[in-house]
Amino acid sequence: MAEAWVWLAQAIWLMLPAYAANMSAVKLGGGTPMDFGKVLRDGRRVFGPGKTWRGFLLGGLAGVLVGAALHALAPLAGNGLTDFGPGAAWVPIAAGLAFGALLGDATKSFVKRRVGKERGAAWYGPDQLDFVLGAWALALLLGEAAIWAGLAQENWLRATLTLPLAVIILVLTPALHLATNWLGHRYGHKEVPW
């Protein structure tokens, strides 16, 4: 039983920079939209008004700061809670998880507009997992860049994200996401409860 809690803690821990980025974007977003209001030939916005530069940049930065804190705490936390790579490699890894989350979110919005769903409409599945897949994709890419740059010997994501952890994250994240969004709506930080 103790073992199960350790797995759960690790799964959440390594995704916290991505979760933090996603949540901070909601709180810190606003202003100029990432698509600058551009409408495509299907008559719909590129991303829509829900994706702003401030949300992307400040949300991503907040995720990197959370990554820095976890990286510093990892040796103290024990229980196999992971750091984010050797030396300065935590910077591209944390940035990959945080900004990747928001790029995944924006990519989802792009597709969501193309299939005709309005900004803020519920799209169960993509809405909850977009940022997980985006975080993994950019962390994988920047993990390779860290190797090329001589910052790391191995790809952090490939070494850290084992199959059982990936499965736990894919199952747990939608539940956590829906719960935090419901609370965010309840306490007035978010327009809709999903």
- Which chain residues interact with ligand CTP by CB under 6 A? 25-26, 29-30, 48, 50-52, 55-56, 102, 105, 109, 112, 119-121
Residue type, position 67, single letter: G
Question: Least Å distance between CB 187 and ligand CTP?
Answer: 15
Question: Least Å distance between CB 180 and ligand CTP?
Answer: 11
Q: How far is it, in rounded angstroms, from Cα 171 to Cα 86?
A: 29
Question: Least Å distance between CB 47 and ligand CTP?
Answer: 6
Question: Least Å distance between CB 1 and ligand CTP?
Answer: 35
Nearer to ligand CTP, 14 or 25 (CB): 25
Burial of 134 (0-12, 13-18, 19+ CB in 10 A): buried
Nearer to ligand CTP, 26 or 61 (CB): 26
Q: DSSP secondary structure string, 8-59?
A: HHHHHHHHHHHHHHHHHHHHH--SSBTTTT-B-TTSSBSS-TT-BHHHHHHH
Nearer to ligand CTP, 59 or 92 (CB): 59
Question: Least Å distance between CB 174 and ligand CTP?
Answer: 13
Nearer to ligand CTP, 25 or 169 (CB): 25
Q: Is 168 helix (H, G, I), strand (E, B) or coil?
A: helix
Question: Least Å distance between CB 116 and ligand CTP?
Answer: 11
Q: How far is it, in rounded angstroms, from Cα 68 to Cα 74?
A: 10
Side-chain-side CA neighbours of 132 within 13 Å: the count stands at 23
Nearer to ligand CTP, 9 or 61 (CB): 61
Find the Cα–Cα–Cα–Cα dihedral 12, 154, 146, 62, rounded to 10°: 10
Nearer to ligand CTP, 24 or 160 (CB): 24
